[in-house]
Structure 1
């Protein structure tokens, strides 16, 4: 079975496998991606946050506990949106909307921060999303996102523990397929330069470009840490809307 983006998680078996995978002690999201996102976000107390592709909104709960003024999650998967609604049930200032991020209204000058964690590589057209994010941010607001690193998306290989990596067709932008958790997932490859230029073309002041450089303290297993030092799994960009 072949899936586009959030549709993948509406297969109940895929959803269960993914949620189980996220519970692994040294999963890449928690050891490599989340620490950098937190650094780039900084203090979010009193800020209004929009999260594109929010998943189960577990991160939204953390932001609300850290004092953000409001949290709005956008999630295209029905299963994930239901999980997010459950996660946010105890927070009056936390909501989730079940829709694709391409279909969200993006009200003008509304949010202080827009985040997107590992969702934008499912989209064929990031330019329109970046322009919509620019519109919905307040002056001085920030856009922080992570994607699979282009050295990964250039030549997607079956998931699992790898000992070697292949980078090929790097400058051929566009559609890719990956066999993952028993299904075929559709993604879109673009280079580091492509992401950076898309931010600039959407009038963002690009303030940070980061990669998933592992930090030893986040790993229990030395072997896992050493393996993560071999290749970057994630790319991060952070930009600001002008005042």
Structure 2
């Protein structure tokens, strides 16, 4: 299933008002953890899966990457990315992540930020990315944490006064689609366990080098009070892997 909610005008307008859409990477709570997983980008050819507004594409070029290809299915996303980009070495392509098709060993680094939980077959994407990367190439990705995606409601269990009592987890090993609400729209996400993510990468020929569940630092808690909830349950799973 290839969703394209972002070309719905109302959905896109709501998304455009989110802090990360306005403030970029520094407004994304998981950015510091994702950045720490990235390899040296100097003179590297980079692929960004689900590039959105192109924030990561522009960042890797600032780190002296040789070139970047950003892939996204939404024309609204790509139109905004192109408007914010003035760099001939960044190419944006309208393409579903499921349909990526590049030459063998075309890229040194592949990244994907909060996009792969919208893709049904994570294992196939891992196999494709492995094919596109040079030996020793790096794949860095972030997804919503399986503790977060297990139940479609994706919400706290509240007390009588509206207090957040706990985050319910159920049907964890029942993998597959979840219809949830995001920005007042029904959205399909795909729930997979931590083990499924890790094993799909290993079975595709990757070696896991780092795994993060984004435990907030003291600095994060001081600068963003909303991060306090992230101590109680993980919201993001981030993985760095290298092609053997």
The answer (yes or no) to whether the contact 1:31–1:219 under 8 Å persists in 2 is no
Task: Count residues in correspondence.
Answer: 238
TM-superposed CA distance for 1:119, in Å, is 0.6
Give the TM-score of the pair, scaled to structure 1.
0.90
Give the equivalent residue in structure 2 for 1:11. Answer: 8
> Please, which runs of 5 or more residues in structure 2 have no aligned partner?
157-161
The answer (yes or no) to whether the contact 2:51–2:112 under 8 Å persists in 1 is yes
Give the equivalent residue in structure 1 for 2:130. Answer: 134
The answer (yes or no) to whether the contact 2:44–2:67 under 8 Å persists in 1 is yes
Give the equivalent residue in structure 2 for 1:125. Answer: 121
TM-superposed CA distance for 1:46, in Å, is 1.4
> Equivalents in 1 of 2:120, 2:44: separation in Å?
30
The answer (yes or no) to whether the contact 1:44–1:63 under 8 Å persists in 2 is yes
TM-superposed CA distance for 1:121, in Å, is 0.6
Give the TM-score of the pair, scaled to structure 2.
0.90
The answer (yes or no) to whether the contact 1:106–1:133 under 8 Å persists in 2 is no
> Equivalents in 1 of 2:225, 2:54: separation in Å?
31
Match 1:36 to one of 30, 33, 37: 33
The answer (yes or no) to whether the contact 2:71–2:94 under 8 Å persists in 1 is yes
Q: Write out per-residue CA displacement over residues 185-236 of structure 1, whole angstroms, 9 at most, x where no aligned residue.
A: 0011010001011001101011111111112223445642322211110001
Match 2:110 to one of 101, 114, 118: 114
Instruction: Please tell me the root mean square deviation across aligned C-alpha atoms, in Å.
Output: 2.4
> Equivalents in 1 of 2:19, 2:44: separation in Å?
27
> Equivalents in 1 of 2:151, 2:91: separation in Å?
36
Give the equivalent residue in structure 2 for 1:73. Answer: 70
Give the equivalent residue in structure 1 for 2:159. Answer: none
Give the equivalent residue in structure 2 for 1:207. Answer: 209
The answer (yes or no) to whether the contact 2:78–2:92 under 8 Å persists in 1 is yes
Give the equivalent residue in structure 2 for 1:87. Answer: 84
TM-superposed CA distance for 1:40, in Å, is 0.3
Give the equivalent residue in structure 2 for 1:98. Answer: 94
- Relative contact order, higher structure (CA 8 A, sep 6+): 1
> Equivalents in 1 of 2:47, 2:109: separation in Å?
6
TM-superposed CA distance for 1:168, in Å, is 0.6
Give the equivalent residue in structure 2 for 1:52. Answer: 49
